[in-house]
Chain A
Amino acid sequence: MSPVRSRLRRTCRVALLGVLAMLALSASAGGAVRDRVTIGMQLEPPILDPTANPASAISEILYGNVYEGLVQFAADGSAVAQLAQSWEVSPDGLSYLFHLRRGVRFSDGTPFDAATTKFALERAIALDSVNPQKSRLAAISTIEALDPQTLRINLKRRSGGLLQSLAWGAFVMVAPQSAAGNALHPVGTGPFRFADWRRGDSLSLVRNPDYWGKGPRLRAATFKFIADPTAAFSALMAGDVDAFSNYPAPESFSQFQADSRFAVFVGSTEMETILGLNHRRAPLNNLLVRRAIAHALDRRAIIDGAMFGYGIPIGSHFPPGKPAYVDLTGRYPHDVEAAKALLAQAGYAGGFSVVLKLPPPSYARRSGEIVAAQLGAIGIKVKIENLEWAQWLDQVFARHDFDLSIVGHAEPMDYDIYARDDYYFGYSNPEFKALIAALDDTVDPRERDDLLRAIQRRLAEDAVNGFLFQYPRLDIWDVHLHDLAVDNVLGVVGLSRAYFDADAAAAPGADTAAAADRAVGAAPPWFAVFAAALTLAAAAGLIVVARRFGPAYLAARVGVLAATLVLATGIVFIVVQIVPGDPVRFMMGLHADPAAVSALRHELGLDTAPLQRYLGWLAGLIHADFGTSYTYRVPVRELIAERLQVSLPLDLYALALTALIAFPVGVIAAARRGKATDVVLSGLTQVGLAVPNFWLGLMLVLLFAIDLRWVSAGGFPGWDAGFWRAMKHLSLPALALSVPQAAILARVLRSALLATLHEDYIRTARAKGVGASRLLWRHALPNAMIPVLTILGMQFSFLLAGGVIIENVFFLPGLGRLAFQAIIQRDLIVVQSVVIVLVFAVVMASFLVEIAYSVCDPRLAAREIR
């Protein structure tokens, strides 16, 4: 064997050994017991401060883990000690004395004592506070810090629910220095500290080494936000998450129950799902009609159909399982004849028509269809209107423009909503209000229970709403994960006692470079290189054009470009403004304090005139400042930059695949024109461009993720989880996007090639004796590239903007999903900015392509200068 070849063989052998060694090393990383957990959740918190926003997701993640309150909820809903060790209530009920724990510190170093408690509570009840629950502490008159460990709260009047109110997430303890920054960097006294938040993707916590109590066994935890039921299913199956809190797909829950890799929990929540009736409208203000509706409902069928059997029927607005619960489901049994009789008695023997407005969650939509059918059986014609949350809050909740609606009420102890005249039901009964007032005045637990029972009976007697079912709690976790506490009052995922046993498998990539301990994921280096290269190429092109055609020409083109963009901003702003829906109402939710709502409106600058807002936005655009997002309170520029890190690579990956598929197909079809190969390939491209890309995506998920388990069905781990791992997650979406585009491109290439092959110079070359394949590759193909490049350029922009549906199928935190969620949340600033960025990309892309043409093809350039 020649010396060169033997050296080659040796090098190959060494390389092979090296690769095997590396693989072995990486596989063995993870011999110790797992101490990091990944938990899936449906809803992402909008900000991380529960004292400034009512979203339950904030407490679910941070309460008890990062933040702690004076007291906490026990399983039965009563208040037990947390940061307050004990307390005494004065006999007249107007003064509470708390004894606070010693030796507690916030994670920013501030010691916890009566002074910080006083600060935290006063901040919550201040006149200009945006605390969503501040009305619950309205009875407080003064707060005194008697000594560092003792606090006295004085009340204006008795408040039987005060202790339980203090257990709410809205009243956690915060430190004076860090309170203002809690929205983005939560600081609390809990067993974990905040580490990192990647919006649209995940939130990470790490163990707090200075915790006052027993330290947690887990070192770090990551919460991944997965709203889509299918993505949740596949994330669990593929091991992307170790547990799922509030699993959103009851239809697949039984599969996990039967699988020995998982442990499941079926419990209850504080959420009553009700069919809300508008008492302000006839005939719903008629008691007989409401009772008829109650008899028409078959709760079992609704639970089976909408929730696949999970859920507990309720007869009034109170959770089963609580000590004071009364089972009133038998008050109006399912009886179609009785219902019709009652309707006839009320004078509506012929029935009547109503509109049922439904918010987005699937439990509402599915229940709605079943309820409509059940009411139809007694003669009530129901028309269904599906609304987005912003529309529901506006039409149903704020303006009371509805007949029926189905929604879940998740706040604990919220029966007092029936005492409010301005609440969306419009129920007003002095007897009921008296009961609520008495309850607030009563401190003795047994008397309170009696009153609670009376409240439930009153609501059932008056058939105030159609009480459907108590929403179930469905949790799934890895069988090797123990003591993950999920409480049923606030839905908190308690990590403090959780741990993995020794048999837990090492998760793929879980122990590589602790992602949780790192700061916000830095953009991968190639991103910066790519951006730099693009800018350089553009600059070079501009210089060439300026030299060839004169600066005046260039200035004119740039001027037109700028004018187009300004016009675009105007159009975008107007379109976004005329779309109805109030972002503030959406953010503050169902229990918004009117004072808090206007405070927030002012803070976001939404009470200024539109023209002013437009000019302010435009001025900001000039130096790339897109404004601040309403929902997330961060500069929009950051949000867009984060999401571009997913959308741009996906776009390029899809383009690369498109070219990779289209070129061989187009060239071969052209070369073998008219023959069987051409017919088959052309047929395939016809089919390819007819397939909707999101359906293709679904089918790919079914095959590769659920059946074969080669890849996970969705999500994006971030670029710092490893380049190849991240690319794996982008592969199915890129493939789904590229197939229809490749079909189009292949057809364009084929016809461009065929057109070129008929040109005279090709005939001349043929006559000169040039071979067929050389003809194709050296002469025809380069000339056919012009229309191909145009199409590729168009596809780049199309893919960037049109990826929203694919991003939803695969749950990718990209630009399309950002825009879609922003539209739903009425975060107008983000919507405006994303649209402008996309318009800019398209306009710039076509501008650059034009420049490239004039540089490359002098004939085109000559035509340009008229």
Chain B
Amino acid sequence: MNTAASRRIGLAAGAGITLAFIMMAVVASFWTPYDPAGIDIAGKLSSPSAQHWFGTDQLGRDVLSMIMASARGSVGVAFFSTGLGLVLGVPLGLIAAARSGWVDEFIMRGNDLLFAFPSLLLAILLTAGFGPGALNACIAIGVFNIPVFARVTRGAALRIWTQDFSMAARVAGKGPLRISVEHVLPNLLTLLTVQATIQFSLGVVAEAGLSYLGIGVQPPTPSWGRMLSDAQTLTALAPSLALFPGLAVALFVLGLTLLSSGLRPQRER
């Protein structure tokens, strides 16, 4: 998308969708149409109707309420894992850019090594080993965000270090730490926001995948991924059960990617 109008539409749509999902997560903390954990065997597997807009699942729970409540887990896990990557990755990148030489080399080789690891398998290993749950999922996903932020920060920071104002600051006697914090970091904010949005969307997908495998967010807290795996055995009886949770994930990620594309500084003419 590169005409100005289509960019603006994309940004607006992305921001709108993302905001809608975050609002849904917030609202679900206080209110959902039904209790997402409310079991009602007699009313199980009913199709969408006036009482249950998205129908009920195999234990009679209202699907719409479950989808709303799942947004909390998704947003939470994605937020904390992205945060983990930011908080640990950005300083590493800044240090690597400020001190070239063996520190830089060491950090970058470490990065490459971490990149080479199959992140999904290791996330599975960590959650399966230390116990499934939202916290471990955050850590497992977050650890692999660190090299991403480190690399992006370093690349952009290096470019900023070559600018005149950085050189002026050095001449004025400011140490590399002060320069990094006062000059480099502020100029990185847009880039970091874009990258954070991207990692956030990847976090949503990763959380859905881990929950699908049964090792992410645990019951009774609902989760889109777990709803999908429960629905898988019922595709013959109630195909719509697999449709809505997946649609929720896809829509949320779509909003986030539109947002990140829209925020990206325009480079092509």
Seen from chain A, the residues whose Cβ lies within 8 Å of a Cβ on chain B are 228-230, 233, 249, 251-252, 255, 301, 304-305, 360, 362, 365-366, 368-370, 372-373, 384-388, 391, 564, 567-568, 571, 575-576, 578-581, 673-674, 679, 682, 686-687, 689-692, 694-695, 698-699, 701-702, 706, 751, 754-755, 758, 801-802, 804-805, 808-809, 816, 819-820, 823-824, 831, 834-835, 838-839, 842-843, 846
**In the complex, B121 has a CB within 8 A of chain A:** yes
- CB neighbours of A233 from chain B (8 A): 233, 235-236
Cβ contacts B245-269/A at 8 Å (1 or 0 each) = 1100111011011100100000011
Question: Does the CB pair B129–A384 fall under 8 Å?
Answer: no
Question: Does the CB pair B121–A835 fall under 8 Å?
Answer: yes
- CB neighbours of A819 from chain B (8 A): 121, 124
Instruction: Say yes or no: A690-B250 contact (C-beta < 8 A), given A567-B113, A805-B212.
Output: yes
**How far apart sit A679 and B253, CA to CA, in the bound complex (Å)?**
19
Question: Does the CB pair B242–A698 fall under 8 Å?
Answer: yes
Cβ distance A322 to chain B, nearest Cβ, rounded Å: 29
Q: Which residue of A lies closest to B114 (CB)?
A: A571
> Which listed residue, B128, B242, B243, touches A823 by the CB 8 Å rule?
B128
Question: Does the CB pair B236–A252 fall under 8 Å?
Answer: yes
Cβ distance A330 to chain B, nearest Cβ, rounded Å: 21
Q: Which residue of A lies closest to B253 (CB)?
A: A690
**How far apart sit A578 and B10, CA to CA, in the bound complex (Å)?**
46
**In the complex, B109 has a CB within 8 A of chain A:** yes
Question: Does the CB pair A689–B257 fall under 8 Å?
Answer: yes
**What are 11 A-B pairs at a CB distance below 8 A?**
A252-B236, A252-B237, A365-B219, A388-B215, A690-B253, A692-B250, A695-B250, A699-B242, A754-B268, A809-B232, A823-B125
Instruction: Say yes or no: A702-B235 contact (C-beta < 8 A), given A370-B59, A384-B218, A691-B250.
Output: yes
Which of B1-9, B24-32, B63-71, B159-167 lies at the interface with chain A? Answer: B1-9
Question: Does the CB pair A695–B1 fall under 8 Å?
Answer: no
- CB neighbours of A391 from chain B (8 A): 131
Residues of B contacting A: mostly: helix
Question: Does the CB pair A823–B124 fall under 8 Å?
Answer: yes
Question: Does the CB pair B132–A386 fall under 8 Å?
Answer: yes
**How far apart sit A365 and B220, CA to CA, in the bound complex (Å)?**
11
Question: Does the CB pair B236–A255 fall under 8 Å?
Answer: yes
Cβ contacts B1-41/A at 8 Å (1 or 0 each) = 11100100010000000000000000000000000010101
Instruction: Say yes or no: A679-B121 contact (C-beta < 8 A), given A564-B109, A751-B268.
Output: no
Question: Does the CB pair B254–A694 fall under 8 Å?
Answer: no
Question: Does the CB pair A695–B116 fall under 8 Å?
Answer: no
- CB neighbours of B76 from chain A (8 A): none
* Range class of the B interface residue count: 35 or more
- CB neighbours of B257 from chain A (8 A): 686, 689-690
Cβ contacts B208-233/A at 8 Å (1 or 0 each) = 11001111001110000000100011
Instruction: Say yes or no: A686-B261 contact (C-beta < 8 A), given A249-B233, A702-B242.
Output: yes
> Which listed residue, A305, A758, A838, touches B41 by the CB 8 Å rule?
A305
Instruction: Say yes or no: A838-B118 contact (C-beta < 8 A), given A695-B250, A698-B246, A755-B268.
Output: yes
Cβ distance A835 to chain B, nearest Cβ, rounded Å: 6
Cβ contacts B77-91/A at 8 Å (1 or 0 each) = 000000000000000
Q: Which residue of A lies closest to B131 (CB)?
A: A391
Question: Does the CB pair B246–A808 fall under 8 Å?
Answer: no
Question: Does the CB pair A695–B228 fall under 8 Å?
Answer: yes
**In the complex, B182 has a CB within 8 A of chain A:** no
**How far apart sit A27 and B155, CA to CA, in the bound complex (Å)?**
62
Instruction: Say yes or no: A842-B122 contact (C-beta < 8 A), given A229-B232, A305-B44.
Output: no
Cβ distance B59 to chain A, nearest Cβ, rounded Å: 6
Question: Does the CB pair B3–A692 fall under 8 Å?
Answer: no
Sorted nearest first, the 10 A-B pairs with minimum C-beta distance are: A579-B129, A801-B118, A695-B246, A690-B254, A229-B233, A690-B253, A842-B116, A305-B41, A838-B118, A230-B232
Cβ distance A254 to chain B, nearest Cβ, rounded Å: 9
Q: Which residue of A lies closest to B243 (CB)?
A: A699
Q: Which residue of B lies closest to A564 (CB)?
A: B113
Question: Does the CB pair A581–B235 fall under 8 Å?
Answer: no
Cβ distance A829 to chain B, nearest Cβ, rounded Å: 14
- CB neighbours of B119 from chain A (8 A): 801
**How far apart sit A704 and B62, CA to CA, in the bound complex (Å)?**
29
Question: Does the CB pair B124–A820 fall under 8 Å?
Answer: yes
- CB neighbours of B117 from chain A (8 A): 568, 571, 835, 838-839
Question: Does the CB pair B113–A699 fall under 8 Å?
Answer: no
Question: Does the CB pair B220–A384 fall under 8 Å?
Answer: yes
**In the complex, B130 has a CB within 8 A of chain A:** yes
Instruction: Say yes or no: A692-B125 contact (C-beta < 8 A), given A252-B237, A564-B112, A686-B261.
Output: no
A673-B2, A695-B250, A751-B268 known, 20 other contacts, Cβ within 8 Å? A252-B233, A301-B41, A368-B219, A369-B59, A373-B39, A386-B218, A388-B128, A391-B131, A564-B109, A579-B125, A694-B209, A698-B232, A706-B236, A754-B2, A755-B268, A801-B120, A805-B212, A820-B213, A823-B121, A843-B116
**In the complex, B107 has a CB within 8 A of chain A:** no
Question: Does the CB pair B239–A702 fall under 8 Å?
Answer: yes
> Which listed residue, B253, B258, B269, touches A692 by the CB 8 Å rule?
B253
Cβ distance B169 to chain A, nearest Cβ, rounded Å: 27
Taking each of B60, B121, B201, which has the highest tally of chain A beta carbons within 10 Å of its own beta carbon?
A: B121
Instruction: Say yes or no: A758-B125 contact (C-beta < 8 A), given A384-B220, A691-B250, A695-B250.
Output: no
